[in-house]
Each structure stands twice: as structure tokens, then as C-alpha cells.
Chain A
Amino acid sequence: MEITRPASLDEALAARADDPGADLLAGGTDLMVEVNFGHKKPEHVIALRRVDELATVEDRRIGAGMTWARLEHSEHRALAQAARTVGSPQIRAAGTIGGNIGTASPAGDGLPWLAAVDAEIEVASQERGTRRLPWREFFTGVKRNALAPDEVIVAAVLPEHVPGNQHFAKIGQRSAMVISTVSACVVRDDDGTVRVALGSVAPTPVRATGAEALIAENPDPSDAALAEFARIVSEEVCPITDHRSTESYRRHAAGVLARRLLERCLAS
């Protein structure tokens, strides 16, 4: 196996250009599990830990190399909440938001927040420079994304206005070190409109647009409207039954969780 340890983004892009498809290694918390279990035998690894440009947050850009440990202190409340639910302290010290985006697991804890705030994913290659994809275009399926073999994920880029009123939560089989059964993020804007994103209930993160529309018409929802909101969320998701949960439980829990988060937004 060959390893390249670039010290700058330019060097990283050059390495990817020289060997498109080489495996990118950030915190290792996904790649090394694959390696340890014999599912993956990398021939060339590009290790990104030394690329300082990726490990920064500035204004509307969250660098791909930001670890969850650092994002626990994010100014964006729901991102900080999501960061705190990732794995364990050891995993959060190593794992990065860029890794979460690159792995594109339906259960990626950072993804509902990115979907709820309508983030774009910024990627770069030596040949074509930088491009930004809306999250909907970037996540294409279970552990599939639109990253080209010669590209590197650089940052999540936020819109100019990100409402401060936002909450994230996940449900799992225990309270720490768990892959989510359902995760959700609700963001409420000053005008009362909300954005509702869910994880682990479809191949990619999804938005519950019907439920969002209901609240746009009822910015101060009654109990009946909240119940209707939860029902619509449950209808809009398309979960599967697997070893972690069942389709019907996930459907139910998605509605309960989204309603709970909306109520938290309404109370704050």
C-alpha cells in the first residue's frame, strides 16, 4: 500500500489527480472499520489529517476536516447537538464532518442538519477547480454521492441566512455510541416557517416538505395541527426494516421526533 500525506489542499488535489479513486482518509472512523473487517484493501491512501485548510470554520464555510469534537462547540446549535451524539469522545476526536459527508451513510449524524439549513457541499479538483453542489444533488443514494474520483470534499457552505432557532435529536438503541434509528433536525425561521430534515429513514437525508407546508400555513400550530404535522412526517419518509429497526417503528418515530423538535423550536 502507498500513502500520500499532503500538507496542503493543493497537494491533496494533485495526489487525487495523479491517482483518481485513491482512498481518502480523514479521521479513519469509517475507512478503518472497512479495512479491519476485510471489506476494503486500499492500494493508495491520501491522508488528509495534515491539511490545515480543511480544518477551519470561517463565516459560512465549515471545513471538511472539522472534527466532531470541535463541532460540539459550533455556534449552530443543532450542529453542536448532532456533533455531541456522534459515537463516543474517541470517535468525535477523530471523525470529521467531511468524512460523514463522504461516507454518505443514511444514518450520518451530521446530514439532517446540512439538509435542514440547505447547505451546499463544496468539492474541488486540480483540473476543474471548485464546484458547489446543493446537498440534494450531492447525496445520491445509500453511501453514494456525486464526488468525482479526482475530487476532494472541501467544506459545507451555508446560505447567507441560517436561523438560530434549530434543534437536532436522534433515536437509537442506547444513549451513547449508537447508530441512529431515526434522526431529525428542525429549523424555524423568524417568520414562523420551518424546515424539517430526517436521517436513517431513506437512502439519503430527506426533507418533509408536506409537513413544512403545513406549518407555513399554521405558524402557531394547535395541538391538532402538531398531530397532523407528525402524521405527515411519518407519511413522507420511506424507511426500511433492517437489523436496527422496523419500517413501521421508524415511520412512527420520525413523526414523534420531528414534532418534539418543532415544539422545542416553538418554545425557544
Chain B
Amino acid sequence: MIVTFRVNGEDRTVNVVGYESLLTVLREELDLPGSKNACEQGECGSCSVVLDGAVVTSCLVMAADCEGSDITTVEGIGSDRELHAVQKALLDHGAVQCGFCTPGFVVTAAHLFEQDPHPSGDEIKEALSGNICRCTGYGAISRALEALAEEGT
């Protein structure tokens, strides 16, 4: 079936075969492989996207249910020329290890800072509690985002 939604500001039309997830469609149909596929049960957060104003795990969104939706993926955050403040903070603080979880963290953190440019340390940890880093690099990620919260975006 034909489904049309907006991704990173662009209208996209895809032919959805069945009950595949938004994550599958992003990666395999729309050439947007930034959202990562790991647990497929919403536990790890590596496929986080913003869907109609809220961060969700795209592996648990049925693509066929996205008709008319507005989606931001990690590819829509920052640009080739200029990093988003969250990306820059993660880079500056060495908060990227294997990098697999990073897109999910970037999407979740960028959304948090959009809501509140100065979140507290606890608010940062709470907001990121659905993103798992298998390298356990949480210390550096927290430090990066706490520093950004002090500066403001």
C-alpha cells in the first residue's frame, strides 16, 4: 500500500508491503540507515526518531500507520556543513565509542534540548534512560550533555 509521510522536512511516498516497521522502511526503502536496528523490541533506543513531536523507537512503529506523520531521523539533525550542538558536545567530550548507539542518543538528546535548553543532570539521565550504550559509555555522554546544558544551545 502507498503511504506518504514527511521525513526530515521532505515528503516521501513509499510502497509498504505489509506490517514492516518504520525502522525497516527508513533503512531499506528511504536510504536513511542512521537509525540502527538492534533489539527490535523497543528496549535499546538505537532506532529512536521523533514522530509527530515525540521520541519513539521506530522499530515499534508500524510503517503503514505513518500516513500523514512528521518524522525526524538522525539524518535530519545538524547538516553536512554544521554539526548540531548535541553532536558537537558528544564529539568534544569523547562520548562516542563504537558509535552504534550514538544516532539514538543524538535524536533523544537533541529533542530534549529543543524542549529545554538547560536540563538538569537528572533530567538528562531520565530523558536518556531509554537509550542503551553497550560500551557503557554513559559517563562521557552525561558529561558532554551536562556541559552543553550549562552553556545552552
Contacts and interface: CB of A to CB of B under 8 A. Distances in A.
| A in complex with B | yes
Interface of A: 1-3, 5, 25, 27-29, 31-33, 35-37, 41-42, 45, 47, 49, 69, 87-91, 93-94, 176-177
A90 B41 contact: no
A135 to B, nearest CB: 26
A89 B19 contact: no
B96 interface: no
Contacts of A25: 62, 65
A177 B57 CA distance: 13
B56 interface: yes
Interface of B: 1, 17-19, 21, 40-43, 45, 48, 54-57, 59-62, 64-65, 67, 108, 126-127, 129-132
B65 A33 contact: no
A69 B18 CA distance: 28
Given A32-B59, A33-B42, A3 B64 contact: yes
Contacts of B41: 33, 36-37
A45 B62 contact: yes
A146 B1 CA distance: 33
Query: Among the interface residues B40, B56, B67, B108, which one has the most CB atoms of the partner chain A within 10 A?
Result: B56
10 contacts: A28-B62, A33-B41, A36-B21, A36-B60, A42-B19, A47-B64, A88-B130, A90-B48, A91-B60, A93-B54
A35 B61 CA distance: 11
A94 B51 CA distance: 10
Contact of B55 (A28, A31, A90): A90
Contact of A28 (B1, B40, B60): B60
A94 B58 CA distance: 10
Query: Among the interface residues A5, A36, A45, which one has the most CB atoms of the partner chain B within 10 A?
Result: A36
A36 B129 contact: no
A94 B60 contact: yes
Nearest to B18: A1
Contact of A177 (B1, B59, B61, B129): B129
Nearest to A3: B64
Contacts of A36: 21, 40-41, 59-60
Given A29-B60, A33-B60, A42-B19, A88 B67 contact: no
B65 A89 contact: no
Given A37-B40, A45-B19, A89 B64 contact: no
